[in-house]
Structure 1
Amino acid sequence: MRLSARGLAVGVTLSLAIALPLGFNAARAATTTVDAAALSDQAQGKNWLAYGRNFYEQRYSPLTQINTESVKRLGLEWNMPLPKDRSLLGTPLVVDGVLYFSGSWSVTRAIEAKTGKLLWEFDPKSIEHAGDRLRVMWDSNRGLAYWKGTIVICTIDGRLIALDAKTGKQRWSTQTTDKSKPLYISGHPKVFRGLVLIGNGGTEFGASRGYVSAYHITTGKLAWRWFVVPGNPKDGFEDPSQEMAAKTWTGEWWKFGGGGNVWNGLTYDPEFNQILLGTGNGSPWNRKVRSPGGGDNLFLCSIVALDADTGKYKWHYQTNPGETWDYNSSMDIVLADLDLNGNGKKTKALMHAPKNGFFYVVDRSNGKLLKAEKIAKVTWATGIDMKTGRPIEVEGARYEDGEEVVWPGPLGAHNWHAMSYSPKTGLVYIPKSEQPAQFNDTKIKMVDWRSPYFATDTAVGMGLENDVPPGVSTSSLIAWDPIKQVKVWEQPTKEFWNPGTMVTAGDVVFQGGIDGSFSAYHAVSGEKLWSVNLGSGISAPPITYEVDGKQYVSLLVGFGGAGVSFVGGEALRQFGWAYGAQTRQLYTFALDGKTPLPKVGDPFIPKPIVPTDFKVDPALVAKGEPLYVSHCTMCHGAGAASGGYAPDLRASPMVVSLPAFKAVVQNGAKVQPFGMPQFKEISDSDLEALQHFVRSRAEIAVKNSESAAKKE
């Protein structure tokens, strides 16, 4: 191990960057100007300049030193322990031998990409800025941006911050959201033409009207803003696209915000100077509530093209008109020139695999649908009508009678975990997931429903009061031919949280796994060529770069994301990535690397506590159940079974003691440094009800375990 955990823990809590001039002098002098030309260059492989490596979002590297023959020689070159981090979902950037990455609470670091030596660190103090927004946000983000010597980071509490890439000193900070609303940023910023673009999330936690904002990268001043859904028509419309969209809504949708938050899926298209947005689901999810008379509800669940300079609407393609299942289109949008007809004439296309289970190819000059086919089990639609571009929906799939089991569930057939595309093989490498959901709105008061405020309510039940058992879901890495619209090969992966991919000209596809594996596959055949177990669950995608003629592969390891926190359950708990059990790491591999793998902590599965002197009251359990779903599920997991993002409350001594429970929940004893939010409004009787619900789930878990042991 090159670096010690003790040495790297120093300074994590500082509010200003730590500049280490000697370390920076040891790094290679910067020679690359990261601008539109550099971000349009698909031939260079030395640097990884953007989330998807460049503007095209292909996550494809032209490097070939690590290839199908040599990959078996991969070994650990260096690792950086990250003892104060938790959820690591981001894509690092590499510019001229310096690697930049953002970790938990958007703490950002610059390190020597060749050795892992820390150069500087910046802590934006996200917990201090968050206030009540801690209730609706996690600690994670998916990355940062670089433009002409400026690093731009986004914070979970809604700020954009520009840093000097050499020193880590703050240049400016801009609040992009209303601090009084339950909005957060978990995505990555997108830079282009001297502007930086960002959206936000929050549709599940309150009335929310989605929008994206572009800021001048030199000053942080707002350049333009575009709203995804229309507001109250009586207030007028910001632009003609809002007036057009309002015709597709019914009722008084603006009281619920409408939704459409753009929390991921931002692509800049340099050839048409346009921004391509993947827009989110409705607020609330259930269309019966937000738009009771039906309607397509533009621009929910769509790909939208905007003029990059002005933010003016150009065109759109809606993947799910009148969406009601959380099938948002906030997944990555990949650009490529495709010979769709085999005649040598290439179309400037985009490729998109949203949650709904279909893979789309769209002409990015005008938004015309070119190809669409299922990549997973889909029961809500039989296909896509290629004349109209609309899905052919299955009768009853919208839970018209109040209840329906639908595939895929809200986690989607493909979530935010990035797919990659190799122009060499012509294949797209997609982390696919298959799981159902039982939508049920029979207990929802359609007329009297009101948006929550810093709590969870989607206006439809999905059984989040119950644990998610192993084996309900399956997942795999698939190689998809976007022209023939067929699967070429498939490799099974574990459960439902399936990390992103990266592919190289060496015909190697890299992907981490929630079981701790980091693997390399043959891009043509799908054969597994190399694998190592890193001892902790993985959520982030890998990158590759070159320094002094040597190719490296880097990966952040820290189990996290909505699937881990919101869903969790025994399905993820079984792997033993319990809260605080393993030290997070940044790993970097190279051919013939000799560094031993670090000891990060053994797998650990917390045992539920069932005190003999505690009697569960069924009436209090019934009262505590909806409180748990609305206030606790998003971090501690469905059915109180944590996937590892937060402590498993069934095994927590704190919940056994009502005074200790009160100190944390009502009085905020763990706001710092853990980010556990404070709930002052939860009454003593509500707290007791929550306690009884958690204790009941602990008893159920113990009984299930004893029953399974007897069967064995």
Structure 2
Amino acid sequence: MDLGGRNLYAHDYNNKEKHMSRMFSRLAPLAALLALANPGSIQAQTPQELLEQYSPVSYAEIENPDPKEWLMWRRTQNHWGYSPLDQINKDNVGDLRLAWAWTMEPGMQETTPLVRDGIMFLPQACDFIEAVDARDGTPIWEYRRERVDHAASLSCANRNATLYGDQLYIATGDAYLVALNALTGEVTWERQIGDWTIGQHYSGGPQILDGKVVVGMSGCYYINTGCWITAHDPQTGEEIWRTNTVPKIGEPGGETWGDVPNEERRGGSAWMPSSYDPELDMIFVGVAVPIPWGEIQRDTRGGDVLYTNSTIALDADTGEIEWYFQYIPGGNWDLDHPFERIIVESEVIPDADSVSWINPNITSSESRKLITGVPGKTGIVWTLDAATGEFLWAKETSYQNVIVGVDIENQKGITNEDLEITEIRQRRFVCPSTTGGINWNSVGYSPDTNALYVPSNNVCMDYYLNPVNPVLGGYHSSATQRKLPPEDFDNQVGMFSAINVATGEELWTYRQRAGVAGSVLTTGGGLAFVSDDARRFRAFDAETGDVLWEQILNSSAGGFPMTYELDGVQYLAIAAGGGVNYRVMTPEIRQRRGGNILYVFRLP
């Protein structure tokens, strides 16, 4: 056990028998009253009973989870964001009502609830974790990590944890990897992986991939070293392998940084969770921008600066890079590409009239493993061969003017020469803005329609680079930007599109004034759920795009929606508060800050 001398706080309601009996005696009357108030709706259980029925999560369950549970960020290792549950469906979704709600920790709201054996685990802002009864929110235990004086405000973001064995794994704002006992919230082990004093932190949490705890370091948008991906032993936290996202001199890809010394090769944060395909035995990682943002600031003009703004495919056993594809070589505009890599098996028959770019050398329409989705802020759907990284097709959604083509042979995008920046404070009109047409809010996929469900937004910026004076641990302050509408703008900021994975055809698109900045959940009930800047949480017919249900929340929803089933009842959960938004483009749409609340819905 490596505790590193840290001061930690775990409030375990069930740790001491004396305390347990007091708490259970207090909660029992409440549970009885709830059962009387709503007879037959739920089977009341005490926290002790829930803990007694909790069973360790096997790796077989990680690979093929029970549809009734949600054990990791997007439910499965392929990052579909899809649940086969179908009790809530097109015919009855209009009857959804609130089952229960829970006030959450103030701060950055990017929560993914997890559910196992009737217990919901809630990772929240600044490494605050709660375990509650998934039927009604009754608290079971909490863990609160001591705050450090971190320079990076984003260090308090906490998108996800993951369950495995009898542990809940988290990655923290002070750059530690931590295993918590899922029954008590007590620390089993923790290991320091990065250095928070120079800006490093985690925001995308760990995943259990190939039996290992795999996690990407972030915070390399501060002046420090390049970032990395690590794999760890779940039992001890011992590091198994490490792969740098920014290669050093002499490493493969290192030449793309020119003569820049190792200590000045910065950036490459891996700030979203990785996906995994067990047949290929590959882990797929998204990598963010170089630091500083501008080529002239880095002294890398003409260099691709690998592996920034790339997908890298790693051998799960060794961490070695099997292949890469770079969406924006070089780069000047803070248009990160670290988002989820969705793994789908599909035939490949792109429709030339539907996609923006196509590989003319596709010789077979046979089904194959694909990496697809929207990997970066440009809002482009990219589809690659998962085994080789070969480019297949790409399609624009929201408006962008940065990518103008694809260098198929060299596996990289081609950027707009008119947007190159050769001088400090040289202004450029760039689309999208640094917020992106999409940001860390996630795309969904449904195997029932073989379609991606993409929230994206139309926003541009007036942009220029600033002089920089790098100081270790300081923010880079690369650029100044002002958000603007696209040219010939029709005032419709938000889009929600269904795109066929095989052909690239648009099945339908829903457009509106308010930005669509929520994450997507798809279900076996034929539904696609997403939230927007106007506080609407909606259910769409996944085939037609018709809105079948909507609920006005207290806030836009920064959390990732999920669903689970208990006692024969399907529940739908969404954590509202904060999140990415585009309200600067729609000043008439207003809301107050804060208000983090978990909403859980069910049918009557």
Question: Which of residues 329, 342, 351 in structure 2 aligns to 1:334?
Answer: 342
1:508 aligns with 2:508: no
Deviation, 1:328, is: 2.0
Q: Which moved more, 1:247-256 or 1:265-274?
A: 247-256
Asked if structure 2 preserves the Cα contact closer than 8 Å seen for 1:144 and 1:189, the reply is: yes
| Residue 252 (str. 1) matches residue 246 (str. 2) | no
TM-score normalised over the length of structure 1: 0.73
Q: 2:11: which partner in 1?
A: 17
1: CA distance between counterparts of 2:237 and 2:516?
35
Tell me the equivalent position of 1:355.
377
1:459 corresponds to 2:459: no
Give, in angstroms, the shift of residue 31 of structure 1.
Answer: 6.5
Hey, what's the Cα distance between the residues in 1 that align with 2:565 and 2:228? 37
1:198-237 correspondence to structure 2 within 5 Å: 198-231=215-248, 233=249
Q: Is the 8 A contact 2:275 2:285 kept in 1?
A: yes
Q: Aligned-pair distance for 1:26?
A: 3.1
Secondary structure of the residue aligned to 1:384 is strand
- Choose the corresponding residue for 1:553, options 572, 575, 580: 572
Q: Given the alignment of the two structures, is residue 38 of structure 1 paired with residue 61 of structure 2, yes or no?
A: yes
Aligned equivalent of 1:632:
none
Aligned mates of 1:400, 1:472 — CA distance in 2: 32
Amino acid at match of 1:539: G
* TM superposition shift of 1:557: 1.2
Rounded to whole Å, the distance in 2 between the matches of 1:489 and 1:107 is 39
Report Cα offsets for 1:441-470 as digits up to 9, x if no partner.
Answer: 3xx44xxx4324454334333249x99xx9
Aligned length: 551
1:115 to 114, 132, 136: 136
**CA displacement 1:677-697 (0-9 Å, x = unmatched):** xxxxxxxxxxxxxxxxxxxxx
Identity between Structure 1 and Structure 2 (%): 25
Cα distance, 1:345 vs structure 2: 3.2
- CA distance in 1 between counterparts of 2:513 and 2:213 reads 36
Structure 2 CA distance, aligned partners of 1:362 and 1:30? Answer: 43
Residue identity in the other structure for 2:501: P
Q: What does residue 29 of structure 2 align with? A: none
Match of 2:356 in 1: none
| SS of aligned partner of 1:588 | strand
Seen in structure 2, the aligned counterparts of structure 1 residues 349 and 30 have a Cα distance that, compared at 3 Å, is farther
CA deviation vs aligned residue, 1:76-109 (integer Å, no higher than 9, x gap)? 0111123x42322121111121111111212111
| Structure 2 residue matching 1:327: 3-state secondary structure | coil
1:40–1:409: structure 2 CA closer, same or farther, 3 Å change rule?
same
Q: Decide which of 542, 551, 557 is 1:532's aligned counterpart.
A: 551
- 1:574, CA displacement in angstroms? 5.2
Aligned 1:57-72 pairs, distance under 5 A: 57-72=79-94
The answer as to 2:159 corresponding to 1:151 is: no
Closer, same or farther in 2 for the Cα pair 1:24/1:572, shift >3 Å? farther
1:99 to 111, 116, 120: 120
Q: Distance in 1 between matches of 2:439 and 2:173?
A: 19
Q: Say which of 289, 295, 301 aligns to 1:281.
A: 289
Q: C-alpha deviations, 1:531-562, integer Å up to 9, x for none?
A: 011122211121011111111101111214xx
- Find the aligned partners of 1:104 and 1:506 in 2 and give their Cα distance: 32
Contact 1:258 1:282 in 2 (8 A): yes
Alpha-carbon deviation of 1:324?
1.9
Q: Give the superposed CA RMSD.
A: 2.7
Change (3 A) 1:530 1:497: closer
CA deviations on 1:620-639 (whole Å, 9 max, x unpaired) are: xxxxxxxxxxxxxxxxxxxx
In structure 2, distance between residues paired with 1:17 and 1:253:
47
Q: Secondary structure at 1:48's aligned position in 2?
A: coil
Deviation at 1:251, TM superposition (A): 3.5
2:539 to 517, 520, 527: 520
Which residue is 1:679 aligned to?
none
Cα separation, 2, equivalents of 1:473 and 1:326? 24
- Counterpart residue number, 2:498: 479
Counterpart CA distance in 2 for 1:324 and 1:346 is 37
List per-residue Cα deviations over 1:316-338 (Å, max 9, x = no partner).
Answer: 11111112222222111111111
SS at match of 2:456: strand
Letter in 1 for 2:443: M
Secondary structure of 2:252's match? helix
Would the alpha carbon gap of residues 121 and 572 (structure 1) be closer, same or farther in structure 2, given more than 3 Å must change? farther
Larger mean CA deviation between 291-300 and 249-258 belongs to 249-258
Tell me by how many angstroms 1:388 deviates.
Answer: 4.5
Mapped pair 1:586 → 2:590: no
**Structure with greater strand share of residues:** 2
For residues 440 and 370 of structure 1, what CA distance do their matches in structure 2 show? 33
What secondary structure does 1:478 align onto? strand
Aligned partners of 2:195 and 2:201 also within 8 Å = no
- What SS does the corresponding residue of 1:324 show, helix, strand or coil? coil
Taking the aligned partners of 1:279 and 1:96, their CA distance within structure 2 comes to 35
* Distance across 2 between alignment mates of 1:376 and 1:338: 24
Cα separation, 2, equivalents of 1:221 and 1:79: 38
What is the alpha-carbon distance in structure 2 between the residues aligned to residue 323 and residue 370 of structure 1? 22
Correspondence 1:504-653 to 2 at 5 A: 504-560=523-579, 563=580, 570-571=584-585, 575-580=589-594, 582=595, 584-592=596-604
TM-score, normalised relative to structure 2:
0.85
Is the CA contact (8 Å cut-off) linking 1:286 and 1:458 kept in structure 2?
no
Change (3 A) 1:261 1:189: same
Distance 1:492 1:26, change over 3 A: farther
> 1:640 — aligned with what?
none
Counterpart of 1:145 in structure 2: which amino acid? T
1:193 is displaced (CA, Å) by 3.5
Deviation of 1:226 after TM superposition, in Å, equals 1.0
Instruction: Quickly say closer, same or farther: Cα 1:516–1:138, change in 2 above 3 A.
Output: farther
Helix, strand or coil at the partner of 1:578 = coil
SS of aligned partner of 1:137: helix
CA contact (8 A) 1:253 1:291 kept: no
Alignment of 1:65-464 (within 5 A): 65-82=87-104, 84-125=105-146, 127=147, 130-131=148-149, 133-231=150-248, 233=249, 243-252=251-260, 254-341=262-349, 345-353=366-374, 354-400=376-422, 402-441=426-465, 444-445=466-467, 449-463=468-482
8 Å contact from structure 2 (residues 345, 367) kept in 1: yes
Specify the SS of the correspondent of 1:27.
helix
Q: What residue in structure 1 maps to residue 49 of structure 2?
A: 26
Give the whole-Å Cα distance in 2 for the aligned partners of 1:427 and 1:162: 36
| Structure 1 residue 569, shift from structure 2 partner | 7.2
Q: Give structure 1 stretches of 5+ with no counterpart.
A: 1-12, 238-242, 593-712
Letter in 2 for 1:294: G
| Aligned mates of 2:180, 2:92 — CA distance in 1 | 38
How far has the Cα of 1:302 moved from its partner? Answer: 0.7
In 2 relative to 1, CA 473–197 (structure 1 residues): closer, same or farther, beyond 3 Å? farther
Tell me which amino acid in the other structure corresponds to 2:521: M
CA contact (8 A) 2:529 2:540 kept: yes
User: Is contact 1:515–1:538 with CA below 8 Å preserved after alignment?
Assistant: no
Give the conservation status (yes or no) of the 8 Å contact 1:513–1:539: no
Does the 8 Å CA contact 1:513/1:537 hold for their aligned counterparts? Answer: yes
In structure 2, list runs of 5 or more residues that go unmatched.
Answer: 1-6, 15-19, 25-45, 351-363
CA distance in structure 1 between the partners assigned to 2:428 and 2:577 by the alignment: 35
| Secondary structure of residue in 1 paired with 2:156 | coil
**Mapped partners of 1:519, 1:100: distance in 2:** 24
Residues 456 and 516, structure 2, Cα contact 8 Å, conserved in 1: no
Output the CA distance in 2 between the equivalents of 1:391 and 1:307.
24
Aligned to 2:420, the other structure's residue is in SS state coil
Equivalent position SS for 1:223 = strand
Partner amino acid, structure 1, of 2:221: E
Shift of 1:418: 0.8
Local SS of the residue matching 1:430:
strand
What is the alpha-carbon distance in structure 2 between the residues aligned to residue 89 and residue 570 of structure 1?
20
CA contact (8 A) 2:518 2:557 kept: yes
Alpha-carbon distance change, 292 to 194 in structure 1, aligned in 2, over 3 angstroms: closer
